[in-house]
């Protein structure tokens, strides 16, 4: 069965610093991969997704992620953190035969002034 | 606004009471899902409906039932609420039950069972 692991349940960065949120998936077949963001008391919003083609995917709000098959990873990055980036981030995967998304346990990002 | 609408937003139930969580989407999506979110556990799938007229169990279906009333609406029912069902519930929809499609989420229902 597909599983998604997010390393670090809490990550703190200073405003202006690099944001790196880690995600690894388990699948012998490269899955479709997604990053979602959840702001307090809201639902999840799609940040970006990888389906096929270019392995570097750009999303909204300056975020991007790189699909690395050899490392079974899909880490999320942003060059310069902003206070408004403080939220919980979820990585999700869906392999070709699966009927639904599998989510990681989430990473809470705190941005320090 | 187009999207997924959930009602109610908040609910407090006593143990043993029943209730139905409502979900409607206006994007003409075929697939709909119910998840629960608990601290440190991410989102866990309760039930899903790949298309109108079909429903299937997810990872944590015990204590819940669902109805896909039509293409737009997918409800979740708790027949006899238990404190372990205290959670935030999210409904989501997807254009197709196909791998490359992500989900659109509702804003959630915060349920407390006392």
CA quadruple A23, B92, B20, B55: dihedral sign: negative
| Residue with the two structure tokens 């690099």 | A18
Q: Give the model's pLDDT for residue B52.
A: 87
Q: Which of B95, B98, B106 minimizes the C-alpha distance to B1?
A: B106
- Confidence band (pLDDT; 50, 70, 90) for A6? very high
Residue B56 in contact with partner chain A when CB distance is under 8 A: yes
Q: How far is A1 from chain B, CA to nearest CA, in Å?
A: 12
Say if CB A30 and CB A91 are below 8 A apart.
no
- Would you call B74 an interface residue with chain A, using a CB distance cutoff of 8 Å? no
B102 touching chain A per CB within 8 A: yes
> Is B43 in the A-facing interface, judged by CB distances under 8 Å?
yes
pLDDT at B16: 97
The helix/strand/coil state of B77 is strand
Specify the DSSP element, H or E, that contains B19.
strand B19-25
Q: Counting beta carbons within 10 angstroms of the beta carbon of residue A23, is it exposed (0 to 12), middle (13 to 18) or buried (19 or more)?
A: buried
Q: Which residues pair with B8 in a beta bridge?
A: none
B30 closest CA partner among B95, B105, B99: B95
Residues of B in contact with A96 (CB under 8 A): 99
- Please judge whether B58 and A100 are an interchain contact, meaning their C-beta atoms are less than 8 angstroms apart: yes
Q: Which residue of B has its CA nearest to A37?
A: B105
Is residue A28 over pLDDT 70? no
- Report chain B's C-alpha Rg in angstroms: 13
pLDDT in tens, A44-90: 999 999 887 788 999 999 999 999 988 999 999 999 999 999 999 99
Q: What is the pLDDT along chain B (114 residues), one digit of tens a residue?
A: 679 999 999 999 999 999 999 999 999 998 999 999 998 888 999 999 988 889 999 999 999 999 998 999 999 999 999 999 999 999 999 886 555 677 899 999 999 999
């Amino acid at each position: 069965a597909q599983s998604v692991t997010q390393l670090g349940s809490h990550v703190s960065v200073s405003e202006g610093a690099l944001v790196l949120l880690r995600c690894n998936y388990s699948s012998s077949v490269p899955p479709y991969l997604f990053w979602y963001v959840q702001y307090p008391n809201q639902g999840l919003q799609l940040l970006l997704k990888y389906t096929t083609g270019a392995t570097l995917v750009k999303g909204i709000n300056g975020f991007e992620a790189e699909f690395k098959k050899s490392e079974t990873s899909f880490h999320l990055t942003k060059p310069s953190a902003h206070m408004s980036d403080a939220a919980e981030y979820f990585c999700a995967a869906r392999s070709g035969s699966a009927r639904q998304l599998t989510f990681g346990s989430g990473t809470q990002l705190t941005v320090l002034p | 606004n187009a999207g997924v609408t959930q009602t109610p937003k908040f609910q407090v139930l006593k143990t043993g009471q029943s209730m139905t969580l409502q979900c409607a989407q206006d994007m003409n999506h075929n697939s709909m899902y119910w998840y629960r979110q608990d601290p440190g556990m991410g989102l866990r799938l309760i039930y899903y409906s790949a298309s109108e007229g079909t429903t299937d169990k997810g990872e944590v279906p015990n204590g819940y039932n669902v109805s896909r009333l039509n293409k737009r609406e997918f409800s979740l029912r708790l027949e006899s609420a238990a404190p372990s069902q205290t959670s935030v519930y999210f409904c989501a929809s997807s254009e197709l039950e196909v791998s490359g499609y992500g989900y659109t989420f509702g804003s959630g229902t915060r349920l407390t069972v006392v």
